[in-house]
Structure 1
Amino acid sequence: MKNKTNNIVGSLPKEMLSEILMHAASNSVNDFVNVKLSCKAFLEASNYDHIFENVSMKKLSFVPWRKSEKHFLKRCKDARNAEALYRKGMVNYFSRRNAESGLRYLKKAVEKGHVEAIYTYGIILICLGGELRKQGLQALSSSNLMTSCSKRSFKIASCRSKTKKFLSSMWVYVSLDEPKEYCVNNAKVVCCNCDDHDVAPRPNCLSSEGQSWEASNNLVDNLPCCDSCFWNREAALFCSILRKFLVN
């Protein structure tokens, strides 16, 4: 019965087999490996770029240590897998201290709609200031992160959580300066002044002293303000969690 099944599978076009493998890979890397090794026909059809472009990386460690995992991550990156591009960008920017390469890979992930990449890329540019800040705000404000308040809070909380897990898994050598327009670390009280954005100023106070990361999250999510001030505050929170993992 097994040989008969293998013969049927082997008679199918490689393109069809690769589509089956792609769907398995997008569900789980384990499913992909199991299907790939189930017969020779699937094995021979398992090296198409679109498979590795869509493979799920949820069960893989953020920073691979084993040679096989590094090779797999590189294969996914070369196939322009959004998650692989995001991970490469994070490592290059914060661990390998290669800002140019890190931003380049993050931007590639942004172009593929990767939510955490949009979040990180936008905040880095905001912290860098000047014209880059405008680009960061544009990337964040034009993304699906800026939906209804409830959905926005959920998505951004998810981004924060993944960022925290990622940073905790690698050596962090690069910090970011909080936006000059909004500094949590060096001020007890800060306000939302939206004079530059054609929005009526709405004072909102936030003290960072004695606040946990999670507590600050809730405060920031619930304070009304314009997009610019919202992301300035979010960038300040991002900087605070980054400092916790910074290697001195």
Structure 2
Amino acid sequence: MPTELLRTCYAERNPSTLYMKGIQFFFTFNLQEEGRAFMKLAADEGYERAVCTYAMTRKKFWGDEEYFARFTRESVDRNGKLVRSLKWAWGSLHGDEFRAKRDEFISTIVPSFYSCQCVPVLERDWVLWFIENSKGDKMCNRCFWIKEVGLFFHEFEPMSVIRDTREW
């Protein structure tokens, strides 16, 4: 997208440009407060990708589940797959804090997923990443959200074709 068009969309508070700026600020530039504010603006405008990303970011960085109430299982499944599948052209990968939060999640939360009665007997370690569709409606609410946050940690890549949103 031409930079001038993005600047115009941002100036008019277009939710998708607020989202792009928020993702880049939070994950690429490590400007968490600013990035979180941009993602929240886009989420509060109803931009579904932003709602999903903002909810997962709040959960993993601050343990807050407030935005989870805005989802149905169907919408989080659809949007989660969309957000996690975007692998754009360039960008820096996850920062140290993201990796630390992911490792903490895997070591402390994921084991409770496997101890739940709704989980089938699984033979492989870290199978969480491979069972996205195997438990379906039988999955309890707690395990559903553990799975979604786990998949987000595993697959989300905050990359952008936009070189630097700080200029607009």
State the TM-score, normalizing by the size of structure 1.
0.51
1:113 to 46, 49, 72: 46
Matches within 5 A, 1:96-245: 96-129=29-62, 133-134=63-64, 137-141=65-69, 143=70, 145-146=71-72, 149=73, 151-152=74-75, 156-166=77-87, 169-174=90-95, 175-176=98-99, 177-178=101-102, 179=105, 182-183=109-110, 187=111, 190-192=114-116, 202-205=117-120, 209=125, 215-219=130-134, 221-226=136-141, 228-242=142-156
Percent identity of paired positions between Structure 1 and Structure 2? 19
Unaligned stretches of 5+ residues in structure 2: 160-168
Mapped to 2, the partners of 1:110 and 1:232 lie a distance apart of: 21
Mapped to 1, the partners of 2:87 and 2:35 lie a distance apart of: 15
Provide Cα deviations, 1:42-78, integer angstroms capped at 9, x if missing partner. Answer: xxxxxxxxxxxxxxxxxx4xxxxxxxx2232122112
State the TM-score, normalizing by the size of structure 2.
0.71
Unaligned stretches of 5+ residues in structure 1: 1-59, 61-68, 193-201
- Structure with higher Rg: it is 1
Provide Cα deviations, 1:164-206, integer angstroms capped at 9, x if missing partner. Answer: 31466432232252447622xxx597234xxxxxxxxx44246
The answer to which structure, 1 or 2, has the higher relative contact order (CA under 8 A, 6+ apart) is 2
- Backbone CA RMSD of aligned residues: 3.2
Mapped to 1, the partners of 2:127 and 2:90 lie a distance apart of: 24
